[in-house]
Amino acid sequence: MSTDTPSFLDRYPEDAAIVRQAFLVSFVALGLGALFGIVQALHRTNILRIIQSADYYTALTAHGVLLVIVFTIFFLVGVYHWAITRSLERTPANRTFTKAWLGLMSLGSGIAGVTILLGFVPQIDISADVLFTFYAPLQAHPLFYAGLTVFIIGTWLAGADWFRTYLQWRRDNSGERIPLQAFMVLTTMVMWYIATIGVAVSVLFFLLPWSLGLIDSVNPLLTRTLFWFFGHPVVYFWLLPAYLLWYTVMPKIAGGRLFSDPLARVVFVLFVLLSTPVGIHHQYVDPGIAEGFKFIAMTNTMFLLLPSFLTAFTVVASIEHGARQRGGTGLLGWLRALPWRDPAFTGMALAGLMFAAGGFSGMINAGMNINYLVHNTLWVPGHFHLTVGTAVALTFMAGTYWLWPQLTNREIYSRPIALGQVVLWFGGMALMSNAMHVSGLFGIPRRTAEPQYTGFEFETAFGSVGELNIQLALGGTLLFISTLLFLGNLALSLDMPKTSGMGQTLPPALSGPTDSPRVLDNLKLWTAIALVLVVLAYVLPLGAIIADGGLLGSGGDAYPALVAHGLAVLPEAAGEAVARLLGVIP
Amino acid sequence: MHIHRYEKLWFGLSLLLIVGFVATVTFGAVGAGIKMVDDSGGTVDVDKIAGGNYEDANFAEPGVRQVDSGEYEAYVVARRFAFQPDPIVVPENSTVTFYVTSPDVVHGFEVVGTNANTMAIPGQVAEITVEVGEPREYGIVCHEYCGSGHHDMEGLLRVVPQDEFDGGSQ
C-alpha cells in the first residue's frame, strides 16, 4: 500500500497529533461503553447478572453517554480536523486555541463521565443516573450538567477554529469553490450550532440552576422538548462524519472516485435545513403538544429521507464506477471486483447496508400513528443500533483502518484481524438488532433492567422470549469481542515500525463542484433558512408549553432529591470524586 | 447543474415514496381516525396530585367510571413504581378513555401488545381513547426509566364480561 505521497503526519505533524489525541479519547470511550453494553445485554436477558438491577441504570447512562457523546463526537472532531486541514491545505491560525477546545472537550467529558460512574459507589452521594436523555425531574449531580456544558463549549470552539481556518483560506482564494470536505465540515457545524441552542438553554437556564438549588422546580415537558430540539439533530452530528467518509474516502478505496460533487453538497445543505425542525417526532405520544405540531415534525422527518436516498444513489454509483475501473463487468458482476479484502472498504460497505435497514425501521418510528405500537419498546434501540451503532460506529472503525497509518506512518498490525472484526460487528449486530426489533413488536420495553413481570407474560407471535433473549445476548457478545479486536489491533499497531509512503490522495469527483450552482456554497443563506424553519417548527409549541405549564412548572420534587449541594461543596466533591475514582477504576 | 438521468429518476422516485409515506400517515390520522395524544388532557398541579388532592387538581380519584352507554373513563396515576388503580378493570366491547398523569417523574404507560401507549409527564394529562374487545387480561408496563425500581413498575388491565363489571370506580 506504499505510495509516493507524503502522509498527513509528514505534512501536518502537529495536526496529526491533534487528530490522534481526539481518536484516543474516542476509543477509550468506545472500550468502556462496549463493556457496559455487554453487561446490559447479558443482564436484561437474564443470562448473567453481575450487577444489581438498580445499578443497571448507571451502566445504561454510562453506555449511552460514553458512546453517543464521547466516542462519536471525539471521532468527529478528529476526522473533521483532518478533513479541514487537508482539504484547505492549511493549519490552524493559533495552535493554542486548537489545544484549548480539545482540552475543554476532554475536561467536560471527564467530569460528566466520572459523575456518572460514581453512581456505582454508594458511599459517595454523587450520581447521574439520568440516562442519555436526562429527563427532569430525574436529577443528576450539578457536576454532570457542568461537565456537559464544558464539553459543548469545547465543540463550539472547535467549529470556530475550523471557520477561522476557512475564512483565512477564503481571503487567499476568493472566487474559488469551497473544497468538498471543508464544505461538509462547515455545514455540519452550522447544523450543530443551531441544534445545541436547545440543550444549552435547557441546561444553563433550567437544569443546572435547578440542580444547584437556585430554582425550585422545572417544567418537565419544556426541558424534555428542549432536549429533543437537540436530540434529533445530534444523530446527524454522528452520521455526517460517516457520510464524509462514504462520499470522499470510500469511492477512492473502491478504486474510483465520487460520482457527483454537487449532489453531495445538496445532501449536506438538506441536513442543515431539516435536521432540527423534526425533534418533536420523539414526542409523538407526549401529552401537552398539539397534534398539528406533531404532524409538521412528521412531514419534515419524512423529507429527511431524501438526503439519505440521494446518498444511497451517489455512494453506490461511485463504488460501481470504482469496481468497473478495476475491471468489473456485468449488471451485478462488478460487485465481485470490489476490494472485499480491505477492511476499510468492507466495513464501510457493511455499515452502509445496515444503514439501509435502519432507515426502514426509522420510517416506522417516523410514522406518527404506527409509532404507537413501537414507542419506547426495545424496537427503538434495535433501530438506533443499526444507525448510530453500525452505520456510524462501523464506518468510524473502518475509516480508522484507512486513516490511522496516515496519522502515524505505521501500518495496521493485522489487516486480516481487521477484516474479521468488521464482519463480526455486522454479524453480531444483525443478531442483536433483529432480536431487539422483534422483542419490541411484542411490547417488551426498552431501558429496563429486568423485563420479566410477575402479573403477565409477553405473548410472541412466533418463537419465544427466551429465544429472542439468547439471540440478543449472543449478538451483544459478538459485538463486544469485535470491539476488543478493534482496540487490540490498534494498540498493537502502535508498535509497528515507522514506514514512509503512507500518504493517500483523494481523487476529484467525476462531476466536479463547477457543475453546481454557486448558491450551494452560500452558507449564510442556508443558515438563515434553517433558522426560519426552526422558528416555524418550535416557537408555537414551546410557547404553548410555557403558557400551559409555566416556565418552571407547577412544583414537584427532584429525584433523587440530592442533599442541598451548594456551589461551595463542588470543589470538595470533585476532589473526593477523583480520589475515590483512582481506587475504583483500574 | 448536470444531473445524471438515472439520478433524476431516483430523485423522482424518492420524492414519490416520501409523499406516499406522508399520505399514508395522513390517511391514518384523518381517514382511519387515529388521533395522536395531544394537549386535550390539559395540565394539573403536580403537588396536588402527589398529595392525593385529585379534585383540587381537576383530575379524578384513580379508577374507572361509566360516562355513557358503552363508554368509560379510566383515571390513572403512574407513580414510582406502580400504577393506580391496579388492576384497571373495564367491561368487554367498550370504549375506554384513559387519563394518565404522574406525580413525580416521567413514566410510560403501555398496554402490552396493543397500541395503547403514551407518556405520563408530571403536570400534564395524557388522554387516549381505545376500543376494548373480548374479555382477557393485558399487562401494563412503564416503558420510561423512572428510577432504580423502574423494572418493578407494572400493572394489569382486565377486560371482564359485562355482568362481572361492578359498574363503577374501584
Nearest partner of A340 among A393, A239, A415, A258, judged by Cα: A415
Nearest partner of B106 among A477, A572, A139, A511, judged by Cα: A139
A486 included as an active-site residue? no
**pLDDT tens for chain A, residues 1 to 586:** 567 889 999 999 999 999 999 999 999 999 999 999 999 999 999 999 999 999 999 999 999 999 999 999 999 999 999 999 999 999 999 999 999 999 999 999 999 999 999 999 989 999 999 999 999 999 999 999 999 999 999 999 999 999 999 999 999 999 899 999 999 999 999 999 999 999 999 999 999 999 999 999 999 999 999 999 999 999 999 999 999 999 999 999 999 999 999 999 999 999 999 999 999 999 999 999 999 999 999 999 999 999 999 999 999 999 999 999 999 999 999 999 999 999 999 999 999 999 999 999 999 999 999 999 999 999 999 999 999 999 999 999 999 999 999 999 999 999 999 999 999 999 999 999 999 999 999 999 999 999 999 999 999 988 899 999 999 999 999 999 999 999 999 999 999 999 988 999 999 999 888 888 999 999 999 999 999 999 999 999 999 999 999 999 988 899 985 544 444 445 555 556 555 555 554 3
Report how far residue A396's alpha carbon sits from residue A391's, in angstroms, rounded to the nearest whole number. Answer: 9
B interface test, pick of A53, A372, A450, A548 with most B CB neighbours within 10 Å: A372
Q: What local confidence, expressed as pLDDT, does residue A462 receive? A: 87
Is the pLDDT at B170 greater than 50? The verdict is: no
A385 included as an active-site residue? yes
Between A and B, how many CB-CB pairs are < 8 A? 242
Q: Would you say the C-alpha torsion A326, A328, A334, A337 has a positive or negative sign? A: negative
With CB atoms and an 8 Å threshold, state whether A288 touches B155. Answer: no
Is the pLDDT at B2 greater than 90? The verdict is: no
Residue A433 CA from chain centroid, whole number = 17
The 10s digit of each residue's pLDDT in A294-334 is 999 999 999 999 999 999 999 999 999 999 999 999 999 99
With CB atoms and an 8 Å threshold, state whether B117 touches A372. Answer: yes
With CB atoms and an 8 Å threshold, state whether B18 touches A302. Answer: yes
With CB atoms and an 8 Å threshold, state whether A554 touches B46. Answer: yes
Catalytic residue among A86, A259, A447, A538: A447
Interface ipTM: 0.95
Please give the single-letter amino acid code of residue A155: T
A314 touches chain B (CB under 8 A): yes
Closest by Cβ to B10, choosing from A131, A313, A368: A313
Q: For residues A449 and B147, is the Cβ–Cβ distance under 8 A?
A: no
Report CA-CA distances (Å) from A80 to A243, A275, A312, B66, B75.
12, 19, 22, 61, 52
Residue positions counted in chain A? 586
- A184 Cβ contact partners less than 8 Å away, ≥ 6 residues apart: A83, A240, A243, A244, A247, A248, A264, A268
Cell numbers of A498, please? 515507522
Got the DSSP string for B117-154? Answer: EEEE-TTB-EEEEEEE-SSEEEEEE--S--STTGGG-E
Report how far residue B56's alpha carbon sits from residue B66's, in angstroms, rounded to the nearest whole number. Answer: 21
**Closest Cα in chain A, distance from residue B84 (Å):** 15
The 10s digit of each residue's pLDDT in A470-513 is 999 999 999 999 999 999 999 999 999 999 889 999 999 998 88
A interface test, pick of B37, B47, B49, B127 with most A CB neighbours within 10 Å: B37
Report how far residue A189's alpha carbon sits from residue A458's, in angstroms, rounded to the nearest whole number. Answer: 44
A285 touches chain B (CB under 8 A): yes
